[in-house]
Structure 1
Amino acid sequence: MKAYSWLLALALPFALTSATPNAATGPLCREGETNLLSFTTKNGKSVSLCVGAANKYLVYRYGTPAQTELQYPPALDASSWDKFAVTDYQKPSMDKANSAQDLHRLVFKNGNVTYTVYDDTSDASGHVCGVGVTVPGKKEVFMQGNLKSVTGQLADLRTIHHPVKF
């Protein structure tokens, strides 16, 4: 058993983590919330998707730890889950021309502005994440996430047992 104690010491931290959202808060998650996905954008602002205690609510925040510029929805209650739509697309790799893809989107509308949080992985382009912002009559703007800052993953939303729309 002693021969394996070093292996246990190395493996234990990995065993304690799971595919569910991590307990460490994202830059904009508050005490008692769980980070689902957080990252910084190239302009230095943070994006955090946070889940309330006991999966009570889902909230999107954008800004800095000192000032949240956008929180959606404003009310943090069970009705928040109905304000988001989620899409997932997964495709296995068939050959070099048809690479594997794992694409995840969370979409919400605040007034007439549509926000699309994306967290994608593919053999062809690797990992990308960010937020697309669409204002009617204007070109969609993408705020790409800094991959070194990413914590969590949007795919973990599937492990949360709540009636989010897929």
Structure 2
Amino acid sequence: MNIKPIEKSIAILLLFICSYSFAKEQPDYLESSLCLPKENIAFSFKTDPKEKIASICIGPQRSYLVYRYGTQNHIELNYPTDPNSSSWEKFSFNSYVRAGGELNDPKGAREISFDNSGTDYSVYQNWGSENDYEIGILIINKGKNYKISGIPKSQIGSLSRLENSRDLLETRE
């Protein structure tokens, strides 16, 4: 009985298993978001035209709040860098909703904002009448505004999931 081919097969199999486990350095994200499987997606969408992803994720048992931007292979911004129970206090939430009626068109806006080293970020969702709907990110740095448009069809969740959250900073006027 020749044991050499069996040993060779086992060695190749072990090499494959080990190389796969070492190659898998990137975390597993939920499909179409940058939230980890243990996290809940509050709001996530792809951006236009670069198709990066913006995600706001809630930790297990609402233990933290985190914003991530980039691709599943490269996170460009993870805020806060070390999410914990105090991370909720680093975000502000603002909301305005007007119901429709005979004299009013329905209209609304929600945003969650944070300051990262002097740069302000606002992830927003705005809507009005006649299919007027917009999502995206507004970045204000040194007095200049940058807008990254989101793709509404890629949206998962809603900023309404953060409404009335006692953990967020008080709503800004």
**TM over 0.5: same fold?**
yes
State the TM bucket, normalised to the shorter chain.
Answer: 0.7 to 0.9
1:109 corresponds to? 115
| Deviation per residue, 1:16-36 (Å, 9 max, x gap) | xxxxxxxx6652001200001
1:151 corresponds to which of 134, 150, 156: 156
Return 5+ residue gaps in structure 2 as ranges.
1-29
Provide closer, same or farther for how the CA distance between residues 84 and 127 of structure 1 changes in structure 2, counting only shifts above 3 A. same
Q: Once superposed, which parts of structure 1, at least 4 consecutive aligned residues long, lie more than 4 Å away?
A: none
TM-score norm. by structure 1 comes to: 0.78
Give a deviation string over 1:89-144, Cα, whole Å, max 9, x none. Answer: 01122446x41112101010001100010012221452211000000232x11111
Provide the rounded CA distance (Å) in 1 between the counterparts of 2:109 and 2:138.
14
Contact 1:25 1:35 in 2 (8 A): no
1:72 Cα deviation from its structure 2 partner: 0.4
User: What letter is aligned with 2:98?
Assistant: K
Task: Please say if 1:49 is aligned against 2:56.
Answer: yes
Specify which of 15, 20, 30 is matched with residue 36 of structure 2: 30
Distance 1:88 1:26 in 2: 25
SS of 2:86's equivalent? Answer: helix
Structure of greater Rg: 2
Q: How many angstroms does 1:65 deviate by? A: 0.4
Q: How many residues align?
A: 140
What does the per-residue CA deviation read over 1:35-58, in whole Å, with 9 as the maximum and x for residues that have no partner?
010001011110000000000000
Percent identical pairs in the alignment equals: 31
**What is the aligned partner in structure 2 of residue 69 from structure 1?**
76
Please state whether the residue corresponding to 1:41 is helix, strand or coil.
Answer: strand
Query: Is residue 131 of structure 1 aligned with residue 130 of structure 2?
Result: no
Gaps of at least 5 residues in structure 1 are 1-23
The structure showing larger relative contact order (alpha-carbon pairs under 8 Å, at least 6 residues apart) is 1
The yes-or-no answer on 1:79 pairing with 2:76 is: no
Give the 3-state SS of the residue equivalent to 1:120 in structure 2: strand
Matches of 2:159 and 2:143 in 1, distance apart? 29
For 1:128, the aligned partner's letter is E
